[in-house]
């Protein structure tokens, strides 16, 4: 038995780490490129903040750096812990997770603290917690459970409607906070889980058509008959990127300044001679517009490097989708991968002036505990799926 085991390991897993603490922590079966990209992005975020936000908070020169570093460490620990949990347990807990998700998002309306006219987070003595950030992961975990669970109940059409309702309920709550960006992430995550849950293409076509109709209704028809769905600033942000010069000092201002910042970085960046992101021309430089900081300070080299890390991250996530040992893992990995891709594209696109301003943070880069830790946890779940897959199909070749 001993002999046989050793022999098989030696043949099929030439790089396997010896059984020991690593094996027990599951490190041996983690997806190392994914971990590397995650940690590199978090570290680059701390590095960028350390240069760009020095002295932003009077009397506390390293305010953002220290906190982001702490969030990164906490997130890393959370990720390692998440890898140790068999993600299939979340499928069993789907109702509880879903209830917690909806309750926490709803409770924000009651106990949340208002920042700039929108209630998104709970305020605790030393930190604030934004449930909708963690909610992106929780929604995927719960919804994937519901999809697997109800896979054989009802017609395909009923199932699609059910998934949509389950996913869009929390999305609607978040939308009302109001947090348009995060509600869009919720919606996209829902669609992603449905996509990997086998919802027919035709249904997606119908959903797509409905979406187009809805956008037309919200942006054009509803205001025309005097029932505004979006707040004025929301609508302006969504549409001003289409004609930035018209709004050069209004809604398009931030985006225009961001584009100028990134462009001015040229190939190698302006370093400490950066002005756009150093002198407040670009707002929210530590959160939504941190990519503009990278673009201006480190130029094409830095920005392309960050984009490449995200590409690597997404590639590995997609790979885990296909490796998963069970459907639940596939759906969860797919939901996480797509919501990460969506957030990266929308945020970077917003920084580059090709996507509307929606207030979606750049995962792992934007300053903010809830977002950073929630993303680390999501990566941890991906790792868990990977570890479970590797443990169950040792020796199989993976692409």
Partner 1 sequence: VYQRSNDRPGPRLALRSAVLGGIAVALFAVLFFRLWDLQVLSGPQYLAEAKNNRTREYKTIAPRGDILDRDGNVLVDNRTSLALQLNTQKLPEDPAEQKAELAQLGNLAQMSLRKVRRTIKEGEEVAAGAPVTLRKDVGYDLVYYLEENQRRFPGVAVQRVFVRDYPNGSRAAHVVGSVGEVSEEELKEAPYKGLEPGDEVGKGGVEYTYDRYLRGQPGLTKIQVNALGQPTPGGQLVSQPPSPGDNLKLTIDPEVQAAGESALASRGLPGAFVTMNVHNGQLLGLGSFPTYDPTVFTEPKTQAEVNALYRDPVTAPLTDRATESYYPTGSTFKLVTALAALEGGVITPSTSIFDAGKITVGTQPFQNAGGASYGPLTLVPALEVSSDVFFYELGWKMWDSGQLQRWAAKLGIGKESGLDLPGETEGLVPSRSWRNQLYKEGETDRPWSAGDNIQLATGQGDLQTNPLQLAIAYAALGNDGTIVTPHVGMEVEDAAGRVLKEFDPKPRRRIHIDPAHRMAIMEGLHQAAQGPQGTSYGIFGGFPIEVAGKTGTAQRPPHADQSWYAVLAPYPDPRIVTIVTMEEGGFGAESAAPAALQILEAYFEKHASSVSASGTGLAE
**Interacting residues toward partner 1 by CB under 8 A:** 148, 151, 195-198, 257, 259-267, 270, 275-276, 279-281, 283, 295-296, 299-300, 303-304, 307, 310-311, 314-315, 318, 321-322, 324-327, 330, 334, 337-338, 341, 345, 348-349, 352-354, 392-393
Closest CA to 240 of 355, 116, 342, 359: 355
Nearer to partner 1, 246 or 280 (CB): 280
The pairs formed by 302-310 with CB atoms below 8 angstroms and a separation of 24 or more are: 302/265, 302/269, 303/262, 303/265, 305/44, 306/41, 306/44, 306/365, 307/348, 309/37, 309/40, 309/41, 309/44, 310/37, 310/41, 310/340, 310/344, 310/348
Buried b (16+ CB within 10 A) or exposed e, 100-121: bbbebbbebeeebeeeeebbbb
Nearer to partner 1, 26 or 353 (CB): 353
Phi, psi of 17 (to 5 degrees): -80, 145
Find the DSSP H helices in 230-368.
232-240, 252-264, 290-323, 327-351
The Cα 279–Cα 285 span in angstroms is: 10
Nearer to partner 1, 17 or 205 (CB): 205
- Smallest distance from partner 1 to CB 324, Å: 8
- Smallest distance from partner 1 to CB 131, Å: 28
Nearer to partner 1, 169 or 307 (CB): 307
- Smallest distance from partner 1 to CB 76, Å: 25
- Smallest distance from partner 1 to CB 127, Å: 29
Nearer to partner 1, 76 or 348 (CB): 348
Buried b (16+ CB within 10 A) or exposed e, 240-254: bbeeeeebeeebbbb
Q: Which two tokens stand for residue 70?
A: 């702490």
Nearer to partner 1, 19 or 322 (CB): 322
Nearer to partner 1, 45 or 347 (CB): 347
The Cα 32–Cα 247 span in angstroms is: 45
- Smallest distance from partner 1 to CB 210, Å: 20
- Smallest distance from partner 1 to CB 266, Å: 3
- Smallest distance from partner 1 to CB 143, Å: 14
What SS3 state is found at 381? Answer: helix
Nearer to partner 1, 123 or 266 (CB): 266
- Smallest distance from partner 1 to CB 259, Å: 6
- Half-sphere exposure (CA, 13 Å, Cβ side) for 181? 20
């Amino acid at each position: 038995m001993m002999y046989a085991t050793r022999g098989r390991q030696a043949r099929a897993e030439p790089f396997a780490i010896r059984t020991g603490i690593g094996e027990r922590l599951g490190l041996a079966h983690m997806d190392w490129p994914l971990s590397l990209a995650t940690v590199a992005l978090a570290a680059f975020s701390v590095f960028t903040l350390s240069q760009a936000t020095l002295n932003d908070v009077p009397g506390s020169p390293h305010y953002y750096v220290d906190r982001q570093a702490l969030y990164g460490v906490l997130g890393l620990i959370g990720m390692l812990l998440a890898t140790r949990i068999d993600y299939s347990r979340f499928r069993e807990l789907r109702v509880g997770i879903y209830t917690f998700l909806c309750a926490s998002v709803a409770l924000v309306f009651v106990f949340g603290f208002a920042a700039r006219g929108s209630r998104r987070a709970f305020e605790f003595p030393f930190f604030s917690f934004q449930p909708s950030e963690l909610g992106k992961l929780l929604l995927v975990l719960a919804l994937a459970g519901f999809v697997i669970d109800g896979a054989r109940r009802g017609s395909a059409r009923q199932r699609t409607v059910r998934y949509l309702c389950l996913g869009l309920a929390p999305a609607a709550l978040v939308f009302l906070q109001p947090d348009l960006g995060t509600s869009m992430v919720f919606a996209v995550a829902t669609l992603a889980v449905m996509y990997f849950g086998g919802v027919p293409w035709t249904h997606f076509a119908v959903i797509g058509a409905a979406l187009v109709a809805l956008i037309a209704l919200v942006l054009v028809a509803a205001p025309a008959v005097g029932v505004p769905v979006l707040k004025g600033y929301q609508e302006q942000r969504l549409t001003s990127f289409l004609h930035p010069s018209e709004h050069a000092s209004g809604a398009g201002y931030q985006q225009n300044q961001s584009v100028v910042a990134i462009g001015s970085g040229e190939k190698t960046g302006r370093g400490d001679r950066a002005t756009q992101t150093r002198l407040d021309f670009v707002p929210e430089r530590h959160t939504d517009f941190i990519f503009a900081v990278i673009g201006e300070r480190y130029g094409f080299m830095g920005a392309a490097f960050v984009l490449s890390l995200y590409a690597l991250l997404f590639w590995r996530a997609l790979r885990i989708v296909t490796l998963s040992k069970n459907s639940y893992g596939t759906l969860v990995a797919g939901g996480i991968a797509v919501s990460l891709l969506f957030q990266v594209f929308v945020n970077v696109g917003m920084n580059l002036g090709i996507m509307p301003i929606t207030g979606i943070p750049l995962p792992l880069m934007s300053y903010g505990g809830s977002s950073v830790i929630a993303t680390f946890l999501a990566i941890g779940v991906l790792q868990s799926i990977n570890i479970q897959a590797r443990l169950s199909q040792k020796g199989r070749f993976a692409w």
